[in-house]
Amino acid sequence: MRWPALAVLISLLAACDASEPTGPMAGAGAERDGVSQREQVLGSFLEAHWKRPVSVQGPAAEGWSPLEASLNPKDCGSCHPQQLADWQTSLHADAFSPGFSGQLIEGGLAQPHALRGCQKCHTPLEEQQPFGPGPDHTAQPSAYDVELREAGLICAGCHVRAHRHFGPPRRAELPPLPETLPHAGFETRPEFQESRFCAPCHQFFDRSGVNVQNTYFEWKESPHAARGETCQSCHMPDRRHLWRGIHDRDMVAAGVDVAWAEGDANALVLTAHGVGHAFPTYVTPRIVMAIWQEDAAGRLIEGTRLEHTIGRKVNFRKGEDVFDTRVPAGGTARLEYSRPTDPGAVAWVGQVTVDPDFHYRGVFEHYLPTLSDPKARALIAEALERSQRSSYTLTELRRPL
């Protein structure tokens, strides 16, 4: 696959900056009474909480130990081992992945202003930014910590502001807290249990033209929202810091049913009953539904395979969808099979495969030969290899002829 360089660059820039106001978003009024769409959704607390990059924490309170003042996730794990263990397995911990970090070394995204824009979600603390906020974005902030940057979206990215710790209200069944707690305890906020908490990085607000990340509004219009189920209900079950998604087969299998159509129709039906947004919500994955005929030896009979692609392709240069075949929350996709039956066929096979990194793989394949920096080449090569092994078979069904 060959990708036009300009299209690749624009697509990467579009994917990086998730919240700068640039005009009305398709399908929703962006500004009302001088208040941006982002502010309308987030409310005053989250609007301030998710001002990104998150301001430098500053000095800790007098008497705090280095452990209490630390922003390192490993130090947080001293008192929160389960949360640390869960986070370490998550894509949040991999937010500074080889594919992301490699692009920040060489090319259009290596420019300081673009780099800061991309890192607003991937590494949101000012302490994680190698370039400052000045007009030329060149001075390295004194608080910069390379280890924190490479740790990705860390605990403090969501929970710490100016060394004040925030979290959801405690569950009623838990025992009372002791009077004295490390780092002066934490402040409870109901927003940590609401979908809008996730929106700053999973919704592109105030956008004109193509909105490549519309997850919050997809959820808001879903049966899940009507039932009071939030992002956290699925992606943080029992408050686990897991954030499983399209890369996790078990997560997808729990949200999607695949079956042969009832009655005489030879069709494969996919139902996104447990997905609280479009399936898939982002532009990078592809899901392929396929039916083919199989012979007595279990081999595919040539010329009998029929496919339907579920996903979204965007022409970033023109600012328009090429196609959008995604399944809405609670909706279905159906692949009808009408090809003649081969004399040697003994069964139809229905299969659904998931390719989480389809778009990224194309980007890396194009990007890698253009790189001269050895570290950038090594990182993008690793990212390409990862993307080549992330696909999986979700379901494979057989129906005897």
One digit per residue, the tens of pLDDT, for the chain of length 401 reads 334 443 344 344 444 544 443 332 334 456 776 689 999 999 999 999 999 999 999 999 999 999 999 999 999 999 999 999 999 999 999 999 999 999 999 988 888 888 888 899 999 999 999 988 776 666 678 899 999 999 999 999 999 999 999 999 999 999 998 889 999 999 999 999 999 999 999 999 977 678 889 999 999 999 999 999 999 999 999 999 999 999 999 999 999 999 999 987 799 999 999 999 999 999 999 999 999 999 999 999 999 999 999 999 999 888 899 999 999 999 999 999 999 999 999 999 999 999 999 999 999 999 999 999 999 999 999 999 999 999 999 999 999 98
Number of H helices, E strands in the chain: 16, 13
Q: Which residues pair with 21 in a beta bridge?
A: none
Give the number of other CB atoms < 10 A from CB of residue 62.
5
Cβ contacts of 112 within 8 Å, gap of 6 or more: 131, 136, 137, 138
Extents of the domains making up the chain? 5-202, 245-400
CA 275 from centre of chain: 14
Q: Is the pTM of this model over 0.75?
A: yes
Task: Report helix, strand or coil for 265.
Answer: coil
Convert 4-39 to b/e letters by CB count within 10 Å (16 or more is b): eeebbbbbbebbbebbebeeebeebebeeeeebbbb
